[in-house]
Amino acid sequence: MESHLAISSIWEDECLFEIRISGTNGAFAGRADCYTNRNEIEELGKLLEVFPKSVSDSFEFTTRS
């Protein structure tokens, strides 16, 4: 099985996005539906453009405490 990460839009209005993040590394798979806003989703895109730089890289995306 091939590793992948997918982010898709479920629903959107002027203030809010509902997105689905799913991924697998071949041994583990997971999926989360999250609410976010335009600024946060743009920040996530910027993080993913340069991720990963090394095998040990990680990041956390949160939209609420």
- Under 8 Å between Cβ of 23 and 29: yes
In this model, does residue 62 exceed pLDDT 80?
A: no
The string of pLDDT tens digits covering residues 26-60 is 899 999 998 888 888 888 888 888 888 888 888 77
d(CA 36, CA 45): 13
More confident residue, 65 or 22: 22
Looking up tokens 């999250």 gives: 34
More confident residue, 20 or 41: 20
Q: Report the predicted TM-score, pTM, of the whole model to 2 decimal places.
A: 0.69
- Under 8 Å between Cβ of 7 and 21: yes
Looking up tokens 């730089």 gives: 53
